[in-house]
Structure 1
Amino acid sequence: MRLRTQLTAALLVASPLAHAQSSVILYGRLDAGVQYLNHVSNGNGGTANSWSAEGGDWGTSMLGLKGNEDLGGGLNAIFTLETGLQVMNGTTSGGRLFSRRAFVGLKSDEWGTLQAGRNLFIDSDGVWEFDPMVQQAFSSASLVRGRNWQQTSNNIEYHSPVFAGFDVQGQYAFGNQPNGFNNGAAGEFGRSDGIMLSYHSTLFDVRGIYDELRDNNGQFTNIFTSSREFFVGANVHFDSIKIQGAYTHYAAPDTPDGLADSANYYWLGATYNVNTAWALTAAGFYVDVGDGGGDALHDPSGHATMYTLGTTYNLTKRTFLYGTVAYVDNSKQANFSLLANPREGTSSTSPLQGESQTGAYVGIMHQF
């Protein structure tokens, strides 16, 4: 009996090795530092300066697991579980166990990758590569109030192999509600989707994205929270310099009458690698909101320009120091902050309408 038990245990351990080669990787990164902002509205008609210890200014702190099982014939089973972290208080993003990614799928060398679960929304997955500030706290997300760094649940996603430098990615997120095909659960997005076409070469990269991000009522009611997006971006590579630029158009046709329902967004920047350890980045971002009024949730017609200057210094291959300074100049009716957050409310760091804002942060990032 004891021999039979030992043989059974040995077979259970050995059988996965006999059929497939598997691997599971623990990975993550931790970011912490100090941040300064001026002209933060205090809710009583005045402003104040803000000094704070912050995690995630250069990039979201995260912890993840990813796995791969070789099924043979160039086919692999894959999974990823990844959550955002706030190192200053030890919490996870949004109270979810896996806030950023939780998906399983199949990956084929010949046919591409198909996966299902929670994931970064397609523009979040695609825009950062063309952002000179790589979607830091002061970055391409700032002047669109975080529209381009969301996550969505109930995703089905396909990513093609690369053909002659080209690849295509498509994503479809179900609303999962019985009361309306486009609707979503309370506090979630409704049915959302997008497609992305990319070209990469040693000299330049080009990407185009069209996506639709609906609110939980299945509508496009706010240019910066639930809208259609058209994006095109390009990178040009030189020996030690990379130049990056992009244009985005947002449209929210279901916006209530009288409120602004479109915006155009542009940026241009460059990164100079002084040496293998030290890099400098400078960029300018400009948003122009179309005709229409505003309220607590909707930005009115107006424009804003943000200028950023950042640097990183590699201590090792896994650890670097960073620092960024930025300034945003708002038109008379605009109140965009350097941070990507709501127009008004307790979580907003917006200045008063027409007021500028200056900010800076320094910190350390460790990756593992």
Structure 2
Amino acid sequence: MKFKLSGLLVVFTTGAAIALYAPTSVAQSSITMYGVLDMFGGYQNTKIGGKSTSMTVLGNNGELTSRWGLRGHEDLGGGYQVNFALESGFDPGTGSLQNSYRFFDRQAWVGLGSGYGEIRFGRQNTPMFAWSGNMDAFSAATYASGYNDFANWLARVDNDIAYISPKFAGTQVELHYSVGGKPGTLAGNAVYQAAIQTSQGPVYFSAAYLNAANAIASTRVQEIMLGGNVDYGMGKIYLGYFRANDIISATTGNALSNPAGKYDPAVGPVGNSAGQWHSTYSLSADYRVSPFFSVGVGAAYIKDSSSLDNDAAQWGAIANYDLSKATRIYGTISELKNYGTAQYKMTGASITTGTFLTPSAGQREFGAQVGFRHLF
């Protein structure tokens, strides 16, 4: 009898456990770890304080920002799924975090998707940042990208609620609202975004608009991005346009508190000083010499709409050689010319202190890189 009762207890316990965990075991889920390692040898030369100054450096984040991340997916059934992403940037040269104020500085969001699209909540990339590489032969990065050096778009936003539509006829729409978190106002520190991208045969085109306010909604930054590319068979021709009032033309600063999204979370996205309107124009092209080797050239110009006329121009060239699907060697060469008292500088995928020079007002700058990039 004792044995029978024990056996019944085992059967009951096992059956309860199966019933409890059956839904979880049926659902399809996955978690993927991924990342980027990018380092380069860089050289820059410019005049600072009337003196020719050169810098040779082992730098981080030339073509892509080094990072590691986790992304996950769970199938809920009925066409619904839960998705998430956590992503942290770092400098491989020192192992330090890209952003000392936060660990997952790049992305930290969770979303619910279906055939009607996806809704996401959390820290997210802006469409401008995500799509800018489709408008530039330099992928909107490296010393050589004038589009990246001049067009200072907001890269990512906290507390963002986003709707991402399904693709219809090659077209996708995104709508974003970032909750400012200021008591008594929905406008303070809020960020609004609307964007559309489409692929039609060999043609890709996208457009995005961003409107961000400071804590009391007295200063607003507005950004407009337009551009795309055409695949001509052996490469692509790229066009990029960006207009914003975030850059203060008399300096290298801007009205954005955090153009790269690296600010102290206690600080809002926009400061209290309005910037001047600037327009950036970019034209570039690449050519596939082989499936593994490509070259590209391009030029960009930024027009200061204020009376200061602090314009700037830049040309650049790049070569990419893929050792495998995951590993690339790249090299760039470029020259930037500042006019008036402008002080634009060559940066990269993510600025790291000590890996760039800031020219004196109105000075030229020359730069070159040889880099190594690995995806995992």
TM-score, normalised to structure 1's length? 0.84
Counterpart secondary structure, 1:177: coil
Q: Give the counterpart of 1:158 among 145, 163, 170.
A: 163
* Per-residue Cα deviation, 1:177-203 (whole angstroms, up to 9, x for no partner): 2264333xxxxxx21111111110221
Change (3 A) 1:167 1:257: closer
1:32 is displaced (CA, Å) by 1.2
- 1:251-262 aligned at under 5 Å gives the runs 251=245, 261-262=276-277
Change (3 A) 1:94 1:241: same
- 1:31-50 aligned at under 5 Å gives the runs 31-39=38-46, 41=48, 46=51, 48-50=53-55
Kept in 1, the 8 Å contact 2:55–2:357? The answer is no
Q: In structure 1, what is the equivalent of residue 280 of structure 2?
A: 265
1:252 is displaced (CA, Å) by 5.4
- 1:189-268 aligned at under 5 Å gives the runs 190-220=189-219, 227-251=221-245, 261-268=276-283
Q: C-alpha separation between the residues in 2 aligned to 1:65 and 1:78?
A: 11
Counterpart secondary structure, 1:89: coil
Kept in 1, the 8 Å contact 2:309–2:339? The answer is no
What code does the residue aligned with 1:132 have?
A
Change (3 A) 1:14 1:143: same
Kept in 2, the 8 Å contact 1:330–1:353? The answer is yes
What code does the residue aligned with 1:362 have?
V
Change (3 A) 1:28 1:5: farther
Q: Give the counterpart of 1:143 among 135, 150, 162.
A: 150
Aligned residues with identical type, % of pairs: 26
Q: Alignment RMSD, CA only? A: 2.8
Change (3 A) 1:260 1:27: closer
Change (3 A) 1:62 1:260: closer
Kept in 2, the 8 Å contact 1:260–1:289? The answer is no
Q: In structure 2, what is the equivalent of residue 98 of structure 1?
A: 104
Figure out how many residues of one structure are paired with residues of the other and give that number: 341
Is residue 22 of structure 1 aligned with residue 37 of structure 2? Answer: no
Deviation larger for 169-178 or 277-286? 169-178
- 1:261-300 aligned at under 5 Å gives the runs 261-292=276-307, 300=308
Q: In structure 1, what is the equivalent of residue 318 of structure 2?
A: 310
| Unaligned ranges ≥5, structure 2 | 1-5, 249-254, 256-270
Q: In structure 2, what is the equivalent of residue 89 of structure 1?
A: 94
- 1:344-355 aligned at under 5 Å gives the runs 349-355=357-363
* Per-residue Cα deviation, 1:295-329 (whole angstroms, up to 9, x for no partner): xxxxx531111111011101111111111111101
Q: C-alpha separation between the residues in 2 aligned to 1:54 and 1:219?
A: 39
Is residue 77 of structure 1 aligned with residue 54 of structure 2? Answer: no
Counterpart secondary structure, 1:126: helix
Kept in 1, the 8 Å contact 2:153–2:223? The answer is no
Is residue 127 of structure 1 aligned with residue 152 of structure 2? Answer: no
Q: C-alpha separation between the residues in 1 aligned to 2:344 and 2:298?
A: 17
The structure with the larger Rg is 2
1:348 is displaced (CA, Å) by 7.1
1:217 is displaced (CA, Å) by 4.8
Counterpart secondary structure, 1:353: coil
Q: In structure 1, what is the equivalent of residue 334 of structure 2?
A: 326
1:267 is displaced (CA, Å) by 0.1
Change (3 A) 1:155 1:324: same
Change (3 A) 1:215 1:202: same
1:135 is displaced (CA, Å) by 2.1
Change (3 A) 1:169 1:130: same
Counterpart secondary structure, 2:181: coil
Q: C-alpha separation between the residues in 2 aligned to 1:40 and 1:89?
A: 28
* Per-residue Cα deviation, 1:264-320 (whole angstroms, up to 9, x for no partner): 11000001011000010111011011214xxxxxxx531111111011101111111
Change (3 A) 1:243 1:169: same
Q: Give the counterpart of 1:117 among 111, 122, 135.
A: 122
Kept in 1, the 8 Å contact 2:312–2:337? The answer is yes
TM-score, normalised to structure 2's length? 0.83
Counterpart secondary structure, 2:301: strand
Counterpart secondary structure, 1:142: helix
1:47 is displaced (CA, Å) by 5.1
Q: In structure 2, what is the equivalent of residue 366 of structure 1?
A: 374
| Unaligned ranges ≥5, structure 1 | 184-189, 222-226, 293-299
